Amino acid sequence: LGAPAAAAPRRGPGGRAVAVLGGGVAGLTAAHELAERGFDVTVYEKKAPGGKARSMDVPGSAKGNRRPLPGEHGFRFFPGFYRNLPDTMRRIPFPGNANGCHDNLVPSTEVMLARIGHEDIRLPFRSVGKPPPVLTPDALRRALTGLFDALGNIPAHELAYFVGRLLVWFTSCDRRRDAAWERVPWWEFIRAARMSPNYQRLLAIGITRNIVATKAEVASTRTVSTCMEAFVFTALGRGADGEPDRVLNAPTNEAWIDPWVAHLRSLGVTFRVGWTVRDLTLAGGRITEAVVQDPSGARQAVTADHFVSAMPVEHARTTWNARVRAADPALARCDRLQTDWMTGIQFYLTEPTPVIHGHVNHIDSPWSITSVGQAQYWPGRDFRADYGDGVAADCLSVDVSEWDRPGILYGKTAKQCTREEVAREVWAQMKAGLNDTGRTVLRDSALHSWFLDPAVELGGPRPANDEQLLIHPTGTWYDRPRAKTAIPNLFLCGDYVATDIDLATMEGANASARAAVNALLEAAGSAAERCAVTPLYRAPELGPARAHDEARYRLGLPNALDLG
């Protein structure tokens, strides 16, 4: 290939040199687990450690001795049903914290569904009351009804139907979930097209966006219901690491990513930042080198005993050439996996503007906006004194999930707008939902500045986004690879790799990295302890119902609770 042999990881005895290709949550997790087991690890990362999870400095925003304003690809939240990622966070030292970075997680206490032309809906977490001691289907029905009845304005018979559909999922066996419900859109599973507008907006779209961050009309029932089930059990106090919704008590890099990288360096991990993986070389049935481009633009040949591909799928698959794909046909199926734009923009305000102590789902916004006021969660920091120019007092962080529908100001999709137009449009859509009930929540005079994710390129004929999000249309579960490939020294991790959570999340990235490390340990003949991979919680009381459904599925019968 003409690439010089350089920048190779240190070669350890017994085949213990590992090149981790990608430094997001998956790559950092893999490096962490391998370094703890004595492997020599080098991480190659194109942009910055942390990937889409990182926070970033707003260029030119700092004055005096302050830090730059904190920007990010999109806000981070850590549901209580995450189990693997919190375990990793406990193992990252942080000054003054007994449980490391895990102690930097703080709970939100409520969520808001901001309506346009309707009263906003504020829901406290833990509103279910005392959870039932035994989750029989009937007890679960009552708990679910109480949980979703708090939304209000949904006809009783429609709410009852929705709860019934959830019970069908809760009592479905794994084979039905994988074979049947994976092929059915969530919108169809809950019969949203037949229901009232409030049912569609609140139950079909609103909850889905808040919990799963995906589109109800195309997302598979398997994906949505898996996370819905996990969230319900967390709300009921079952199988949770913590409160239903948690965020960090400082910008992400300060509270988590920077301490993580420092800890990995202390374990001997080497970082090559600014290095882009271009290709993998296969010879003799194994990967012999990764071809990377260094910060100067020169190509380098990286050799190692083992290679862990930890890049997002849209980038990873560009490194799998024809010979690599021929060696493992499962890699070619990844071409069918789809990504979409879900990108963040931050608004910096001259006055504290928390809105609520939690996330806001701007449920009627054309661009599917969600937001959270961040400074309220950072008690050890004075925003004005610590960040920016001393004028900005808060950061309203926003995720934009829909980039292909016209907005309300310019009649253009987000992809057709300039960056300035996107900022104006998002601000207008938020005001439309928050300022329409008799009080002014967002004031134009308080808007200091904004920062749109630099991965997005707008204003030209071909808009681009270098950091997209895996989406989950029906049937795509079957195209997702496992961590172990048919190539004995190549392993995959990332939120596209098949894991129990079945959703593009930090938890999925972390769990897949643990699976990749376990496969690598097996291939290396290592006696090191395997990584724990904790599955999502399943209520044991519902085991008999799932077993009964397994028998019905084999006979070609529907779930016993599936009344159509």
Whether residue 94 contacts residue 101, with contact meaning beta carbons closer than 8 Å, is answered with: yes
Domain presence at residue 87: no
Same structural domain for residues 362 and 431? yes
CATH number of the domain where residue 492 is located: 3.50.50.60
* 29 and 77 fall within a common domain: no
Q: Please tell me the distance from the alpha carbon of residue 431 to that of residue 85, in angstroms, as a whole number.
A: 35
- Residue 331 and residue 350 in one domain: no
Domain assignment present for 10: no
Q: Say if residue 206 is in the same domain as residue 161.
A: yes
Per-residue pLDDT of 132-173, as tens digits, reads: 678 888 888 988 888 888 777 899 999 999 999 999 999 999
Structure confidence at residue 127 (pLDDT): 42
Do 137 and 227 sit in the same domain of this protein?
yes
Dist. CA 37–CA 531, nearest whole Å: 10
Q: What is the CATH number of the domain that holds 413?
A: 3.30.9
3 in any annotated domain: no
Would you say residue 216 has pLDDT above 50? yes
pLDDT level of residue 336 (50, 70, 90 thresholds): very high
Determine, yes or no, domain membership for 564.
no
In a domain, 519, yes or no: yes
Domain count, the chain: 3
Q: Say whether pLDDT at 370 is over 50.
A: yes
pLDDT of residue 235: 87
What is the mean predicted confidence (pLDDT) over 47-53? 97
Tokens of 468: 């997209």
Contact by Cβ (8 Å): 64, 390: yes
Say yes or no: 461 and 346 in one domain: yes
Looking at 446, 465, 484, the residue that finishes a domain is 465
Q: Same structural domain for residues 334 and 347? A: no
Residue 2: per-residue pLDDT:
42
pLDDT of residue 369 exceeding 80, the answer is yes
Q: 158 and 236: one domain? A: yes
Q: Is the pLDDT of residue 210 over 90?
A: no
Predicted pLDDT of residue 135? 82
pLDDT at 13: 40
Structure tokens given for 482: 């496992």
Name the pLDDT band for 436 (thresholds 50, 70, 90). confident
Q: Please say if the pLDDT value at position 322 is more than 70.
A: yes
Residue 269 has pLDDT above 90, yes or no: yes
Query: Rounded CA gap, 371 and 3, in Å?
Result: 46
Whether residue 387 has pLDDT greater than 80 = yes
Q: Are residues 328 and 349 in the same domain?
A: no
Mean per-residue pLDDT of the chain: 93
Q: How confident is the model at residue 12 (pLDDT cuts 50, 70, 90)?
A: very low
Q: Which of 281, 282, 278, 317 is nearest to 297 (CA)?
A: 278
Query: How confident is the model at residue 211, as a pLDDT?
Result: 60
Q: Cα–Cα distance between 89 and 420 in angstroms, integer?
A: 37
Residue whose entry in the numeric block shows the structure tokens 């769990």: 511
Q: Which amino acid, residue 99?
A: N
Whether residue 188 is contained in a domain is answered as: yes
Looking at the structure, tell me whether residues 302 and 221 fall in a common domain: no
Least confident of 30-39, 94-103, 233-242: 233-242
Structural domain of 150: 126-241+539-554
Structure token digits, residue 308: 């862990």
Residues 136 and 197 in one domain: yes
Instruction: Measure the CA–CA gap between 529 and 510, rounded to whole angstroms.
Output: 17
Task: Report the phi/psi class of residue 285: left, alpha or beta, with left for phi > 0 and alpha for psi in -120 to 50.
Answer: left
User: How large is the average pLDDT for residues 314-326?
Assistant: 97
Residue-wise pLDDT for 374-386, tens only, equals: 999 999 899 999 9
Asked if the structure places residue 88 within a domain, the reply is no
Nearest to 339 by CA among 465, 449, 237, 245: 465
Q: Residue 230: inside a domain, yes or no?
A: yes
Residues 450 and 361 in one domain: yes
Write down the pLDDT at residue 205.
84
pLDDT of 3: 47
Q: What is the per-residue pLDDT across 437-447, written as a single tens digit (0 to 9) for each?
A: 778 999 999 99
Tokens coding 423: 């900022």
Q: What is the pLDDT of residue 131?
A: 62
pTM value is 0.94
